[in-house]
Homo-oligomer: A and B are copies of this chain.
């Protein structure tokens, strides 16, 4: 009950890996990007559209789902899958990150964390145990334990304390998971989260202690929280050797195309981020030649799709000119089309990454992609 991953292939010239997650709601090939369905939907999309994109594993946010619709409703419907009708896999974060980033008020003790709701300021209490219980109510296929996430930069002592607390909470989370989830024969997996901020010795200690618990998978938390990109890449690379090869590695909250490639090159199997859908709602979209803004005048008369290599609903059917017009007119439909495209782009990217790894040409693929993605507009 601690195995949900088959490592299929390691890249010859990098740490990149291809594998398969075997989860309660179906198998998922890795590397995989996971769209974020905060409150039980991918923003501005329908499940029909998400399924057409062939996504098989999405994120739910424990913090948001706990506040709304809440335990009563999710209990009534026997969990989030049944409530939302999403019948594929769901990974839930623990709410730790939102408690620290969204709530105006919070008080952390070794026991747990009291926080004010982002909706109405009401006070709530999370403990490692209560979070696992709520994720059990959700019916998460992969559960993340409550952790303490610190911003970068921060003092060593604070980072160390948070790292230790995260580990102690993980021990309690694991106990609760074994008693409440495993003992009822539910096949829902708990991952451990490695913290330690930007301090390599803390990251190392966190990784060693966390992986000793022999959990189904491990996450790298506390990145993309203020550090520069090279620091993030260095920490990921540093951790690669410290996490058992046969376990899946999940980089939390990261999902720009260039970051996906750099993370996969350093041994990451899973990533999630709100960025592609938020960027879409704000008029930004991914192309082979980098991230573009649909507001740009150059699309005024454009008969081209957003991305000529894309096969998504938006690109198959509409010109950039039309989508630009809808966006400028404040039409919600533009947000839907741009979100679909960005998710399609990342799906195709991870599929292509996987094939490149399996065919031992990942490094070439990565360099080609990044060269094209970072070139100046004038060069193409």
Given A40-B322, A322-B40, A68 contacting B301 (CB threshold 8 A): no
**Which residues from chain A sit less than 8 Å from chain B, CB to CB?**
38-48, 64, 68-69, 72-73, 76-77, 83-85, 300-301, 303, 313, 317-319, 321-322, 325-326, 328-329, 331-333, 335-337
Asked whether, in the complex, the Cβ of B39 is within 8 Å of the Cβ of A76, the reply is: no
Complexed CA–CA distance, A319 and B40 (Å): 13
* Chain B residues positioned under 8 Å from A328 (CB to CB): 68
Residue of B whose beta carbon sits closest to that of A49: B46
Are the C-beta atoms of B313 and A48 separated by less than 8 Å? yes
Min distance, Cβ A137 to any Cβ of chain B, angstroms: 15
Q: Are A317 and B47 in contact (CB under 8 A)?
A: yes
Evaluate whether A325 and B44 lie within 8 angstroms (CB atoms) in the complex, with A318-B85, A332-B332, A335-B332 already known. no
- Pick the most buried of A46, A64, A68, A73: most chain B CB atoms within 10 A of its CB: A46
**Taking CB as reference atom, which chain B residue is nearest A74?**
B325
A73-B301, A337-B46 known; A85+B331 contact, CB < 8 A: no
- CB of A6, distance to nearest CB on chain B (Å): 33
Known: A313-B46, A336-B336. A326 touches B41 (CB 8 A): yes
**Cβ–Cβ < 8 Å partners of A42 in chain B:** 333
Asked whether A321 lies within 8 Å of B85 as measured between CB atoms, the reply is: no
Q: In chain B, what residue has the closest Cβ to A316?
A: B85
Q: Which of B39, B44, B76, B326 contacts A329 (CB 8 A)?
A: B39
A48 to B340, CA, bound (A): 14
- For residue A319, which residues in chain B have a CB less than 8 angstroms away from its CB? 77, 83
Chain B residues near A303 (CB-CB < 8 A): 77
Closest residue of chain B to A300, judged by CB?
Answer: B73
> Is A44 a contact partner of B333 (Cβ separation < 8 A)?
yes
Is the beta-carbon distance between B85 and A39 smaller than 8 angstroms?
A: no
Q: Closest approach, in angstroms, between the C-beta of A151 and any C-beta of chain B?
A: 27
Question: Across the interface, which residues of B come within 8 angstroms of A331, CB to CB?
Answer: 39, 41, 43
**Closest A-B pairs by Cβ, 9 of them:** A39-B329, A44-B332, A69-B325, A41-B333, A76-B301, A41-B331, A85-B317, A332-B332, A68-B329
Residues of B with C-beta under 8 A to A318 = 85
From B39, B317, B325, give the contact of A325 (CB < 8 A).
B39
- The reply to whether A77 and B39 contact each other, CB–CB distance below 8 Å, is no
For A322, the chain B residues whose CB sits under 8 A away are 40, 83-85
Say how far A323's CB is from chain B's closest CB, in angstroms.
Answer: 10
Within the assembled complex, what's the spacing in Å between the Cα atoms of A322 and B83? 6
